[in-house]
Structure 1
């Protein structure tokens, strides 16, 4: 085995874990019929000339299981935040009360649950593609390495594939868990 070659498996594993972490944050934004402040994370508002997350424009609270409230700090932003939430595709209609937006979370019907399960599947597929891209980069590094025997190349490729299989398995488990949570009535 060549002592001067190391494809940095720690970096490869870290990048694959990053794809899984990104997937989990995307899953957190999918609503499951229960109120969660993280469901507003992907929504940005055109505020002060740039796209700004809602949590930087006001205080987000979950006062009860089916309600999210946002206390907007700047009165001028209330309309923009309301418009951004309405157009976000979450299926939530905010109720404006001064500078406070109340977001009643409606019960999910069967059709909407199926749609959300499909969206979760798309998020998972994006994560799988990201993991496969990391695998490809790692295998390309092994392929370009000088002075490696065929056995060493195969050993490094097997190590990278084992990391990939583990990451894909974790993604599939996270997807299955999220789909069960979505379909739960």
Structure 2
């Protein structure tokens, strides 16, 4: 068991949680249309859940409008339902195989609900990071129990894992604060 490799693996997994969080908050709109807004939406298609961008083409024809061109006519209702049921507060307008999605102005109430969604995304990322920490700590305890590493080395590595966890959660909090400020800006 290589301790440096294990720490690198834990860091890679924690960075993965940050990347997922960054992608999630990028999808929260701040008043301008962006195709990324629909990234977190998945659609029930062909017996499984697939990302929206695998069943349709998403474009931005106007600053406050999205256009979703669905490739398979039978998927139109499923895509419409998935968009309406998302926490994004969007109401698509059907136009054949195309859905036009007007983006409403962000009022104070809507901004606050988007901030809540951002906090939910942050909490999911923190939980994922804590799971990585737990896995690291369990592997250290197992290695110590098996006699692969000594008690002092185990304690030192545990401290490194905890510091890595704290730093990663701090980074999540900083990203959340920036996004919250961006959403609340009028």
TM-score range, shorter chain: 0.7 to 0.9
Q: Out of 23, 29, 52, which is 2:27 matched to?
A: 29
Q: Out of 11, 15, 30, which is 2:9 matched to?
A: 11
Matched with 1:175 is 176
Q: 5+ unaligned residues in a row in structure 2: which ranges?
A: none
> TM-score, normalising length from structure 2?
0.87
1:89–1:161 Cα change, 3 Å:
closer
Q: 5+ unaligned residues in a row in structure 1: which ranges?
A: none
> TM-score, normalising length from structure 1?
0.87
Find the residue that maps to 1:32 and give its secondary structure.
coil
Give deviations 1:123-156, integer Å, cap 9, x for gaps: 1112112212211221222222215444322221
Q: Distance in 1 between matches of 2:87 and 2:120?
A: 16
1:167–1:105 Cα change, 3 Å:
same
What are the within-5 Å matches in structure 2 for residues 51-90 of structure 1?
Answer: 51-90=49-88
Q: Distance in 2 between matches of 1:31 and 1:161?
A: 34
Q: Distance in 1 between matches of 2:169 and 2:85?
A: 33
The total of aligned residue pairs comes to: 182
Give deviations 1:34-77, integer Å, cap 9, x for gaps: 21212212223333333333212221101222111112222333
1:151–1:183 Cα change, 3 Å:
same
Residues 128-137 or 44-53, more deviating? 44-53
Q: Out of 135, 138, 147, which is 2:136 matched to?
A: 138
What is the CA-CA distance between 1:5 and the residue it aligns to? 5.5
Coordinate RMSD, CA, aligned: 2.0
Residues 167-176 or 74-83, more deviating? 74-83
Find the residue that maps to 1:34 and give its secondary structure.
coil
* Greater RCO, 1 or 2 (C-alpha within 8 Å, sep 6+): 1
